[in-house]
Amino acid sequence: MNKKRLSWFASGKSFQYISEWLEKAENKIRIATGFFTIKGWNLIRRYTKGKQTFLLVGLDDPGAERARVALIQEIMRDLRTGLDKDRRKAVIDLVEKMQSRQFEIVDARATDHHNKLYICDEKAAVQTSSNLTGKGLLEQVEGGNIITNKIEIAALVREFDDYFNNAQDLTQELLDILLKWLDFDTPWDIYLKTMLTFENVQPPKTRYTKKPVSYQIDMIAQTLRQMRDFNGSMIVASTGLGKTVVAIHVALHLKAEDLIDNVMIIAPKAVESNWRKEMREAALPYEFFVQKIFDKEIKDARHKIKEFLDILEEVEQQRWLLIIDESHEFRNRFKKDLSNRKKILLNEELLLDLEN
């Protein structure tokens, strides 16, 4: 960008020049715009810190449909439907400036005001076609020029102040509605609440002391729904997110609904003591089997396999919930021996011996 150039005709250039001069302002910023959005404010708010900001809003497109809609409603409609980042931070910043009387906004549509002007103290005025919106500052092809003549700037300040003083003050009205908007729950809280409403998950009566946190409640709800629809579910979560606690609560829900009688856990040896401890605390009837007993002959494996087969014989009389911890171990357990099926043969021989 040629630093000596005082005019432009391109997209994105308006924000470059406007932000540069807003930052140079020390006391007062006067902005006239046809349309105003929170996204537009979010782009310039860092350059208004500690400076009084006066916003004169007119009408971007004086059509019949838009003219019937109040300016405040237009701002809130954009706030509801926008996808811009840091909207909440922008609203908080705007509220704080209004509460400290560093920001005032007026509606000048009654005078058919359509100007776009950014006056930075009495140092410069940026005359442009860019509204104070995300599209106007960054996306659309806009033109503009910078005025630095002190006499012209002084005249623009007087004319701006005259329009501003005769326009309808909307500062308090906008402040009130933005404060109400900030009282709304965050999208994440609404999502969790919606999930709970859809699932109607009520905590079962239990002495189990570990209560699920918000994201675990969502996991429990989804797991219960999938189990009702498909008689099974797979929980995929990173280490440390409490899959054991989630599984315990799923079992407690199913037990409370009289859908299961017992729980069978198949898991690595390393987590056996933890599973037994959690199941005792939850007072759930259970059987625990180490994964490796199904693949190779280890100490007490024949006894445990016999116990497993005994359960299978009675499975129709007793309703079991099967929990497989680290289930990917079953998928990968033969990957090193596929060429000679060594482990598979061992497994078949073991089952044959038990059956005889």
CA atoms within 13 Å, Cβ hemisphere of 104: 14
What is the spatial distance between Cα 54 and Cα 106, in angstroms, rounded to a whole number? 8
Which residues face 57 on adjacent strands? 33, 107
Which residues face 7 on adjacent strands? 145
* Token pair 């116990």: residue: 307
Kind plus residue range of the DSSP H or E element containing 304? helix 301-313
Distance, C-alpha 39 to centroid of its chain: 18
Query: Is 231 in contact with 320 (CB distance < 8 Å)?
Result: no
Query: Is 75 in contact with 82 (CB distance < 8 Å)?
Result: no
Coil/strand/helix, residue 299: coil
* Token pair 């482990």: residue: 343
Query: Is 43 in contact with 94 (CB distance < 8 Å)?
Result: no
Task: Work out the number of other CB atoms within 10 angstroms of the CB of residue 18.
Answer: 24
**What is the sign of the dihedral through the CA atoms of 77, 80, 83 and 85?**
positive
What's the pLDDT at 354? 33
What's the pLDDT at 236? 85
Beta strands in 34-176 (DSSP E): 52-57, 103-107, 117-120, 124-128, 141-147, 168-169
What's the pLDDT at 333? 60
Three-state SS for 100-125 is: CCCEEEEECHHHCCCCCEEEECCCEE
Query: Is 84 in contact with 139 (CB distance < 8 Å)?
Result: no
What's the pLDDT at 111? 66
What's the pLDDT at 131? 94
Written as six digits, the tokens of 161 are 């102040």
| All domains of the chain in start order, with CATH | 7-182 (3.30.870.10), 187-355 (3.40.50)
What is the spatial distance between Cα 53 and Cα 38, in angstroms, rounded to a whole number? 15
Per-residue pLDDT of the chain (356 residues; tens, 9 = 90+): 455 678 899 988 999 999 999 999 999 999 999 889 999 999 999 999 999 999 999 865 544 445 445 678 878 888 877 667 788 899 999 999 999 999 999 988 766 778 899 999 989 999 999 999 999 999 999 999 999 999 999 999 999 999 999 888 989 999 999 999 888 777 777 776 666 665 556 677 888 888 888 788 888 888 888 888 888 888 888 888 888 999 999 999 999 888 898 999 999 889 999 999 999 999 999 999 888 887 765 666 777 888 888 888 877 778 899 999 988 777 666 555 555 544 444 444 333 333 32
What's the pLDDT at 1? 47
Query: Is 320 in contact with 311 (CB distance < 8 Å)?
Result: yes
What's the pLDDT at 344? 45
pTM value is: 0.53
Each as own residue / partner, the long-range contacts of residues 81-88 (CB below 8 Å, 24 or more positions apart, any chain) are 82/37, 82/38, 82/39, 84/38, 84/39, 84/42, 84/134, 86/42, 87/38, 87/39, 87/42, 88/182, 88/186
What is the spatial distance between Cα 293 and Cα 266, in angstroms, rounded to a whole number? 10
What is the spatial distance between Cα 184 and Cα 63, in angstroms, rounded to a whole number? 32
* Token pair 């009408």: residue: 59
What's the pLDDT at 348? 41
